[in-house]
A and B are shown apart, each in its own frame.
Chain A
């Protein structure tokens, strides 16, 4: 099983983590248009290759983290707390 590096707990089995969406997507302001809301809610990056993703260490410390993961090779080459 693949090991994910939790910034709080160290290397842990991938089973302990849950995928939670794309990282780095700021919530639009109150006056945002329908199109801007749709872009935020639905139009994700869906990167082929290097991606920044949010994961939750559900069966560990329970904290949100940001993983740098390759969506083709599945290699994880970095992890940091979601809001450092």
Chain B
């Protein structure tokens, strides 16, 4: 792998950038791998990287129907945080934030992780009481959460409307200092480059059509580019999980919904943290390009369309403009949607599928991007050893029949 560094940049600048090589090689499929991963998004690519790095398994292929990072990994609003209510979720997501903190150095790829902090605004006394309960639970799980007052919240986001009679008064906020944003494409590309350097094959334009079983165990993948045999198969395809599961003969407790996001025209720096409101279901941050990146709740009924309806766009933009009156003069530049796999308890599903030989990493719903490093680590552990990583054990598919749901209602607005 060609290492990136300031020295390399200077050297290439002096010779007309003639020495750069592609970050990874686009491969054709071979007939057989030890592990085949279906889905070349963040989770699939991270899993491939950790399989090679943590477990020494390099006969791995990542199959992607379109191009890597072209699904939800490239469509989300890049929020990274771990303010989850239940200890089992907090442990998983905080592990992810900690991995993100060292990821640019580890991958030798600038993922532009900016820990700018996040505040979730309390608009009423009732909001403050709910938040203090949540804050206590998160602090017991070791997550850096602070309940801050009105003055501190307004100091962090000075463009919030401070007037007494405003529509969304600021009473205080739940702050996670270590939360932030990263460059989502760079996370996909960085993992792809590092995995390819360790011998993983990244195969784009390769759609998985179904699975072949031998003696009741999945032994091969039927793809648009031929049959590929594998000892174990990992599925990390977010909103398409149900379709692949049905092709294999089992059902999943998922519903696919559109989650949309939108950006304003770019402006000079005016917001240096993430501001969210669970009460009105919207959130905003400012990208390095200057656009305000906005999002909110799921669209209102199941959909595979990868485009959002105007009703939800309006329900996101309207309260944000009420909270930040200055944003009212900006134009909305782009709006788009991705298909997310919502689980009944807003928690992911990680574990063996009902068909032996197949393993699942799905159900992240609206929050998959923030979990990419943790999801990759625990899924690689599962695929390599056949047993759960301690962090992923509670998220097994069996929890639904056991009634042992991890209900993350506090996961709040969707990001």
What is A's interface to B at a CB cutoff of 8 Å?
1, 15, 18-19, 34-35, 37-39, 41-46, 48-49, 51, 53, 69, 71-74
Quick one: given A38-B400, A38-B401, A48-B243, are A43 and B251 in contact (CB under 8 Å)? yes
Known: A34-B401, A38-B401, A53-B302. 20 other contacts (CB 8 A): A1-B310, A19-B302, A34-B403, A35-B401, A38-B400, A39-B251, A41-B400, A42-B344, A43-B251, A43-B400, A44-B253, A44-B255, A46-B254, A46-B302, A53-B301, A71-B256, A71-B305, A72-B303, A72-B304, A73-B305
Cβ of B300 within 8 Å of any chain A Cβ, yes or no, is: yes
Contacts of A72 in B (CB 8 A): 303-305
Give the distance to chain B from A1, nearest Cβ to Cβ, in Å.
8
18 example contacts (A-B, Cβ-Cβ < 8 A) are as follows: A34-B403, A37-B401, A38-B401, A41-B344, A43-B252, A43-B253, A44-B251, A44-B253, A44-B255, A46-B256, A46-B302, A48-B242, A48-B256, A48-B304, A51-B302, A53-B302, A71-B302, A71-B303
Contacts of A37 in B (CB 8 A): 401
Nearest A residue (CB) for B303: A71
Contacts of A1 in B (CB 8 A): 310
For window 229-264 of B, CB contacts with A under 8 Å fall at: 240, 242-243, 251-256
Contacts of B304 in A (CB 8 A): 48-49, 71-72
A41 to B90, alpha carbons, bound, how many Å?
A: 26
A44 to B255, alpha carbons, bound, how many Å?
A: 7
One digit per residue, 1 when the CB lies within 8 angstroms of any chain A CB and 0 when it does not, for chain B 285-303 equals 0000000000000001111
A63 to B213, alpha carbons, bound, how many Å?
A: 46
Find A15's partner among B240, B251, B311 (CB 8 Å cutoff). B311
Contacts of A42 in B (CB 8 A): 253, 344, 400
Contacts of B401 in A (CB 8 A): 34-35, 37-38
Contacts of A45 in B (CB 8 A): 251
Contacts of B242 in A (CB 8 A): 46, 48
Contacts of A53 in B (CB 8 A): 301-302
Contacts of A18 in B (CB 8 A): 300
Contacts of B301 in A (CB 8 A): 19, 53, 69
Contacts of B243 in A (CB 8 A): 48
Give the distance to chain B from A72, nearest Cβ to Cβ, in Å.
5
One digit per residue, 1 when the CB lies within 8 angstroms of any chain A CB and 0 when it does not, for chain B 383-412 equals 000000000000000001111000000000
Give the distance to chain B from A9, nearest Cβ to Cβ, in Å.
19
A54 to B100, alpha carbons, bound, how many Å?
A: 42
Is B402's CB under 8 angstroms from A34's CB? yes
Give the distance to chain B from A84, nearest Cβ to Cβ, in Å.
22
Contacts of A73 in B (CB 8 A): 305
The 3 closest A-B pairs by CB, nearest first: A42-B253, A19-B301, A46-B242
Give the distance to chain A from B387, nearest Cβ to Cβ, in Å.
23
Is A19's CB under 8 angstroms from B300's CB? yes
A84 to B253, alpha carbons, bound, how many Å?
A: 29
A76 to B340, alpha carbons, bound, how many Å?
A: 22
Contacts of A15 in B (CB 8 A): 311
Nearest A residue (CB) for B250: A43
A15 to B300, alpha carbons, bound, how many Å?
A: 10
Contacts of B305 in A (CB 8 A): 71-74
Quick one: given A34-B403, A46-B256, are A74 and B303 in contact (CB under 8 Å)? yes
Contacts of B344 in A (CB 8 A): 41-42
Nearest A residue (CB) for B311: A15
A25 to B256, alpha carbons, bound, how many Å?
A: 18
Nearest B residue (CB) for A2: B309
A14 to B304, alpha carbons, bound, how many Å?
A: 18
A74 to B305, alpha carbons, bound, how many Å?
A: 8
Contacts of A38 in B (CB 8 A): 253, 400-401, 403
One digit per residue, 1 when the CB lies within 8 angstroms of any chain A CB and 0 when it does not, for chain B 141-170 equals 000000000000000000000000000000
Find A46's partner among B252, B310, B402, B403 (CB 8 Å cutoff). B252
A37 to B254, alpha carbons, bound, how many Å?
A: 16
